[in-house]
Amino acid sequence: MRLYQRLAFVMIVGALTACGGPLTRDVGNSFTKINGLYDYGASGRDLRLSVRGNPFTVSDDTLSKAVEAASQVQVLRPRTHPTLTPDSSARRGYELAFLFSPAPTQSGDDLCKGRIEDSAPGAVAPTVHVLGVFCVSGSAQTEVRGLAEATGPADPRLKNLVAQMIVQLFRPDLPDADGNSGR
């Protein structure tokens, strides 16, 4: 069933691309566990950032640094510092991972474990597809897919997409009207 959901998402996103702005979609796990994991592993400290895949005609280092700069946004939690070069404050096993041009069937868990499927055919700029995952000990805790029209790392649309994905990945698990946690 997940395969069909992902393929449907790719088709719908393709149709909506003409709208011009970045688009994100939660595809991963429940947010019920993230509060404690974020507070312990990312709150007030460095968080290891990894960037894989590159749909642009720039070096991987240039793209990685652009993603690092774009990920420095405030979320509805205590601040964290996603970085390519974490200091000793970073918790072992905690990572923020981005994969550009992911295969439609690429899972966040596999990305957290370092297993990357072949890129989706034809997934090159200006239509940029990204999978973002908050990993803890090799498992995806939250997972978001995003899409934007961007011509390169300096394009503000890429910066906006990464910022929106960070907010989605780290949004708090807020209680509902009855005080129950969950979405």
Q: pLDDT tens-digit profile of 4-37?
A: 454 444 444 444 444 445 565 555 554 545 667 8
- For residue 103, the SS3 value is coil
For 67-106, the pLDDT digits (tens) are: 999 999 988 777 889 999 999 999 999 999 999 999 989 9
The pLDDT > 90 percentage for the chain reads 54
Q: Which letter, b or e, does each residue of 107-140 get, where b requires 16 or more Cβ atoms within 10 Å of its Cβ?
A: bbbbbbeeebeebbeebbbebbbbbbbbbbeeeb
- Collect all residues with Cβ–Cβ distance below 8 Å to 74 and sequence separation of at least 6: none
The two three-digit tokens of residue 127, written as one number: 């239509």
Spatial distance between the Cα atoms of 150 and 56, rounded to a whole number of angstroms:
9
Beta-carbon neighbour count of residue 31 at 10 Å? 21
Residue position matching structure tokens 């970073």: 90
